[in-house]
Structure formats: structure tokens, C-alpha cells
């Protein structure tokens, strides 16, 4: 196996509930890609969403990952401890004229982004070039309601290209993405936090679900502006629920704790391994030796409850 001693991969779940089969499968893939390439493997708790995250959920997720047989290098990072780093990154961008306040509500953004000349899902730039008088008025209006404006990146490009292990060269849209959310709870935005933390931890390989591929150009562009090294991406197929949508906890007994009510840990690991194209293994040491990234099934995996199908997926 090739060795990259200074590099790292990571798994970074949001602690808003127990991990389900799809989350666990992605975690195993991230661990496999890191271990096969000689990288360190890190765990980070992405708890910047203060409205949904909980310490209890984070502890349960860590326990589940350890139970499954994953191991991690170094201390577990929590984003709630990283706010000064995010502030410093924003100040760096602000000093170069790359940050502006945004006073738009979600409804205003939704309505404006529906215009024919606006790319779907992209911020239309409503507050980008407001004059000082208008900014002061809008800021005062928000303050009267106990709210603060969001902070956005003043992007200088409309698209950016990244390299993905499976998708190859991928070019996606870049807009004036949010750096800090506004309102009454001004949390730091995911795209900023994940970019700053990956650089700080020396992460050079990001393995995650392919539904997040479209966000990679935004994060890579932000990293470029901050002078961070490029990251290699590996966006992997998803596990889908019975309705053909990304698997969710509402789809039934899909969390590890629920599965262990009728299966052993080894059986759950074997089921994950089969979904990766590897059979006849129950231990993680065996799996890391037999897993071949080139043989990973290209299609999404359909979840089937264990009592309906011993394989648990197809």
C-alpha cells in the first residue's frame, strides 16, 4: 500500500442523533481509504449547529464507531472549541475585502434565487453591493428584532474545479457562500468550519457521500483563498431507504444499536463489507486487506431490513 505519513483522513458526523447504516458505511469507507494509504484517521464532532447538536449524541456516536471496530488517531476535535479559529479566518478574508453583511431572510433568498438568471441553489447577491446608508438601515432593522446579519464571502469566481477519486475532474458553482449565519443564533457556517478544521488537522483526503460532491468546489475555493493545501475528495455511493431517498432514521431499525438487538457486531460488519463488494470477513483487519477501492460498487445501495434479507442491503 502507498504511504503518506503526513496526510490524514477523517470522519466528521453531526451529533444530532444515533448513526444509521448509511452513516456507518461511510465511516468505514473513510477509515478504509485512510488506513490503506497509510494516513492518520481522525474523528471530529461537527457540532456548530447549536440548535440540533448535543453532547450526549456525540458520546453515543463515538461509542458506536468504537463498537463497530474503527480506531482513531489523536484527540477527538469538537467544533464548539474552534470558534476563535473561524473568527480568525473570517478576519483574514475581511481584511482583503472578501466579506460582507447579508440582511436577507430565508424567504427573500428563496424568492430571489427563483429568478431565471440565477443558478438554482445559489445566492443571488442581493446584499453584495448595497451602499453604506442602506446597510446601516438594514442592520438597524435586524438589531431592533434582536438579530444580527449573516456574513458572506465576496466570491471572485462563479465556478471551481476539484478532483474526485471516482468522479474525476468536477467543476461546480461557487456563490457568495455564508461564513456566519445571521438571526438570533449566529452560528458559524458549515462550509467555513469544515474548511478551516481540515486544514488545521492536516486532512488531505475527504471521504463522504456523493450527495455532497456539489459542495466541494465551494470549500476548495474557500481553502484556496485562505492559502490552504488542496484536498483530495472521495465521494462514495449512498445507502438509500425504501422510497429511494437517502437512508434516514425514520426508515426503521437502521441504527447500530437497533441492529444489535438482533445481530452481532460481526454480522453488522459483514453486512457493511458485502455492500462494499467484500465477502467472507467479519473483522476490520481482514476488511482493510481485502477492500479494493476500484471494486467498490458504483451504484447506490438499497437498504433492506435484516428480517427481510439476511444481507441487509442489495
Give binding residues as ranges.
10-14, 46, 102, 104, 123, 127, 190, 208, 249
Burial 195-225 (b: 16+ CB within 10 A, else e): bbbbbebebbbbbbbbeebebbbbbbbbbeb
Angle at which helices 265-275 and 21-36 cross, to 10°: 70
Return binding residues for L-glutamate: 10-14, 46, 190, 208
Q: Which three three-digit cell numbers place residue 147?
A: 438579530
288: Cβ contacts below 8 Å, ≥ 6 apart: 32, 35, 36
Phi/psi for 82 (5° steps) reads -110, 10
What's the rounded Cα separation, in Å, for the pair 135 and 124? 17
Report the C-alpha gap between 201 and 44 in whole angstroms.
10
Residue 207 pairs in a beta bridge with 234
Write the burial class of residue 155 (CB in 10 Å: 0-12 exposed, 13-18 middle, 19+ buried): buried
Binding residues for Zn(2+): 102, 104, 123, 127
Asked if 150 and 187 count as a contact pair (C-beta separation under 8 A), the reply is: no
Strands (DSSP E) contained in 3-128 are: 8-11, 40-45, 77-78, 99-102
Q: Which residue numbers belong to the known binding site for ATP?
A: 249
Amino acid at each position: 500500500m502507498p504511504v503518506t505519513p503526513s496526510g490524514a483522513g477523517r470522519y466528521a458526523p453531526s451529533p444530532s442523533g444515533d448513526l444509521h447504516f448509511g452513516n456507518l458505511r461511510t465511516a468505514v469507507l473513510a477509515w478504509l481509504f485512510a488506513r490503506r494509504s497509510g494516513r492518520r484517521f481522525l474523528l471530529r464532532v461537527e457540532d456548530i449547529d447549536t440548535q440540533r447538536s448535543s453532547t450526549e449524541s456525540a458520546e453515543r456516536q463515538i461509542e458506536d464507531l468504537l463498537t463497530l471496530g474503527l480506531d482513531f488517531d489523536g484527540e477527538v476535535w469538537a467544533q464548539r472549541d474552534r470558534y476563535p479559529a473561524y473568527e480568525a479566518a473570517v478576519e483574514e478574508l475581511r481584511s482583503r475585502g472578501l466579506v460582507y453583511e447579508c440582511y436577507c431572510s430565508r424567504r427573500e433568498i428563496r424568492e430571489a434565487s427563483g429568478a431565471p438568471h440565477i443558478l438554482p441553489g445559489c445566492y443571488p447577491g442581493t446584499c453584495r453591493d448595497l451602499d453604506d446608508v442602506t446597510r446601516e438601515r438594514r442592520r438597524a432593522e435586524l438589531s431592533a428584532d434582536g438579530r444580527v446579519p449573516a456574513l458572506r464571502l465576496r466570491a471572485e469566481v462563479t465556478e471551481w474545479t476539484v478532483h474526485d477519486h471516482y468522479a474525476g475532474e468536477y467543476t461546480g458553482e461557487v456563490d457568495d457562500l455564508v461564513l456566519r449565519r445571521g438571526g438570533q443564533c449566529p452560528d458559524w457556517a458549515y462550509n467555513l468550519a469544515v474548511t478551516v478544521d481540515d486544514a488545521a488537522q492536516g486532512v488531505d483526503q475527504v471521504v463522504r457521500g456523493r450527495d455532497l460532491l456539489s459542495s466541494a468546489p465551494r470549500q476548495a475555493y474557500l481553502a484556496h483563498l485562505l492559502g490552504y493545501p488542496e484536498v483530495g475528495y472521495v465521494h462514495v455511493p449512498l445507502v438509500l431507504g425504501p422510497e429511494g431517498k437517502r437512508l434516514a432514521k425514520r426508515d426503521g431499525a437502521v441504527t447500530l444499536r437497533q441492529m444489535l438487538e438482533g445481530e452481532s457486531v460481526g454480522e453488522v460488519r459483514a453486512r457493511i463489507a458485502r455492500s462494499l463488494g467484500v465477502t467472507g470477513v467479519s473483522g476490520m483487519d481482514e476488511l482493510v486487506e481485502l477492500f479494493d477501492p476500484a471494486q467498490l460498487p458504483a451504484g447506490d445501495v438499497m437498504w433492506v431490513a435484516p428480517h427481510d434479507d439476511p444481507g441487509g442491503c442489495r
